[in-house]
């Protein structure tokens, strides 16, 4: 009866791992889902579109503007008519209409408009780099959760196998106790081993479910969707040389673009010191019901007035800032100080990024050596378990010795699983930082 209960317990613990409609995911699949589903990345793409639109807005400043204006006025009584040049009095209606096209163009302003366009282009590049940095950070988070799921999944499978073995061992001990070959102490050792394996299974199962939940959360998947991760391939463990290149590191490239942007801001601040030359032009005509022919006193017809009253003019306006309360000087000093601050920030960031890449390489090398040592330990524990088990079967080793080596073998198996996926995670982390993913 006890054995049946134990088997049923194992069955219900295994059920969550064998869903009927699981979605199989590789590492590449998980990354694609992340890119398609993550809200922060979608917002980042919108920021890129806004930054690109700002370039068009900056370009609009170099084009001339063209406006059309018209006015139609009907007045009764006293009014001055600007077209006929008369002061209209008395109880009579007068009509007045104008229409004009106006344009203006900044011919020169110290190159400010051109610098503004370049600044918006750099802003656009910085926005794209920010999105790439965000994606890199999200991929590193995803890698951590992805690896945790793989580790706990394989640990759970190993724990299930060990619990089944413990269950079979209890059945074997019960039989030997009945025939008098083993004592109750041997039976107690088997039950202790089963209890520990059962506890490990429950603990690992809980860790697996939490890891799955975190993975679904970062991928924006529903909790009800069943997923199964595919194990890494052999090439996923092969190390690639990690060389730190400032031209590839997103953080260094980003701050370099910020320095370029700051140089443009200095030039923009300097442009206020130069004179501003603007061209203005206008073409228009007008009509008045009070404009009369001086020879016959009749009101000049509408279309004739439009032809006679045409006006065309153009002028250049030159303005020079003589004193602005030291505003330009203060802006220029602030821009220069901000650039110096960015230079210091770059030096600090460069050292930090070098340290991160070096640490990543050392971590990978340590994980590689650890895996080799753990594989050797696991093989030794396996041989030791097989030897002690044979000695136990013929009565030359005690149950204490047997369950001790069983525990050591189980722990080495757990550690082997953890070390293998640790190596996978360290390699993928380096590839993500180097933009090789």
Q: Where along the chain do its domains lie? A: 2-8+24-63+109-275+320-433
- CATH node for 2-8+24-63+109-275+320-433: 1.20.1600.10
Predicted local confidence at residue 192, as pLDDT: 85
Residue-wise pLDDT tens digits, 83-101: 777 777 777 787 878 889 9
Global pTM? 0.81
Predicted local confidence at residue 331, as pLDDT: 92
Question: In Å, how far from its chain's centre is CA 179?
Answer: 67
Half-sphere exposure of 397 (CA within 13 A, CB side): 18
Please give the angle made by the CA atoms of 136, 142 and 145, to the nearest 5 degrees.
Answer: 150
Question: In Å, how far from its chain's centre is CA 163?
Answer: 43
Say which residue, 354 or 239, is predicted with more confidence. Answer: 354
Residue 431 has pLDDT above 80, yes or no: yes
Phi and psi angles of residue 420, each rounded to the nearest 5 degrees, phi first: -65, -45
Report the chain's terminal Cα–Cα distance, integer Å.
Answer: 54
Other beta carbons less than 10 A from residue 386's beta carbon = 12
Q: Which of 186-195, 241-250, 292-301 bottoms out in mean pLDDT, i.e. has the lowest?
A: 292-301
Mean pLDDT, to the nearest integer, of 37-66?
A: 93
Other beta carbons less than 10 A from residue 272's beta carbon = 17
Residue 266 has pLDDT above 70, yes or no: yes
Residue 17 has pLDDT above 60, yes or no: no
Residue 333 has pLDDT above 50, yes or no: yes
The residues near 103 (Cβ < 8 Å, ≥ 6 apart) are: 64, 65, 66, 67, 280, 281, 282
Predicted local confidence at residue 239, as pLDDT: 63
The residues near 17 (Cβ < 8 Å, ≥ 6 apart) are: 153, 156, 157
Using CA atoms, how far apart are residues 334 and 321, in angstroms rounded to an integer?
Answer: 20
């Amino acid at each position: 009866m006890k054995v049946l209960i134990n088997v049923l317990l194992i069955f219900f613990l295994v059920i969550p791992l064998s869903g009927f409609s699981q979605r199989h995911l590789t590492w590449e699949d998980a990354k694609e889902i992340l890119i398609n589903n993550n809200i922060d990345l979608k917002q980042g793409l919108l920021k890129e579109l806004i930054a690109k639109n700002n370039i068009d807005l900056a370009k609009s400043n170099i084009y001339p503007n063209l406006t059309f204006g018209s006015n139609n006025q009907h007045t009764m009584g006293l009014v001055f008519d600007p077209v006929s040049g008369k002061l209209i009095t008395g109880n009579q209606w007068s009509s007045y209409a104008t229409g004009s096209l106006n344009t203006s163009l900044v011919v020169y302003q110290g190159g400010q408009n051109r610098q503004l366009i370049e600044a918006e282009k750099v802003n656009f590049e910085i926005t794209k780099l920010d999105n790439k940095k965000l994606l890199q950070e999200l991929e590193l988070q995803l890698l951590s959760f992805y690896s945790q799921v793989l580790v706990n999944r394989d640990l759970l499978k190993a724990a299930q196998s060990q619990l089944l073995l413990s269950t079979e061992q209890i059945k074997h001990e019960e039989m030997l106790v009945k025939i008098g070959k083993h004592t109750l102490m041997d039976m107690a050792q088997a039950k202790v081993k089963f209890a520990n394996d059962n506890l490990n299974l429950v603990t690992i199962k809980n860790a697996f479910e939490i890891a799955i939940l975190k993975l679904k959360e970062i991928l924006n998947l529903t909790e009800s969707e069943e997923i199964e991760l595919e194990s890494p391939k052999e090439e996923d463990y092969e190390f690639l040389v990690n060389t730190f290149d400032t031209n590839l590191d997103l953080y260094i490239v980003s701050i370099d673009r910020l320095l370029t942007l700051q140089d443009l801001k200095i030039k923009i601040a300097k442009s206020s010191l130069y004179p501003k030359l603007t061209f203005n032009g206008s073409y228009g005509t007008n009509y008045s019901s009070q404009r009369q022919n001086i020879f016959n006193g009749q009101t000049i017809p509408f279309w004739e007035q439009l032809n006679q009253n045409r006006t065309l003019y153009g002028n250049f306006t030159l303005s020079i800032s003589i004193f602005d309360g030291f505003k330009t000087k203060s802006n220029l000093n602030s821009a220069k100080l901000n650039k110096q601050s960015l230079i210091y920030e770059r030096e600090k960031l460069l050292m930090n990024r070098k340290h991160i890449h070096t640490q990543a390489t050392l971590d990978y090398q340590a994980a590689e050596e650890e895996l080799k040592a753990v594989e050797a330990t696991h093989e030794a524990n396996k041989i030791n378990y097989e030897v002690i088990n044979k000695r136990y079967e013929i009565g030359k080793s005690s149950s204490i010795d047997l369950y001790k080596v069983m525990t050591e073998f189980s722990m080495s198996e757990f550690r082997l699983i953890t070390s293998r996926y640790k190596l996978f995670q360290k390699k993928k982390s380096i590839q993500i930082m180097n933009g090789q993913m």
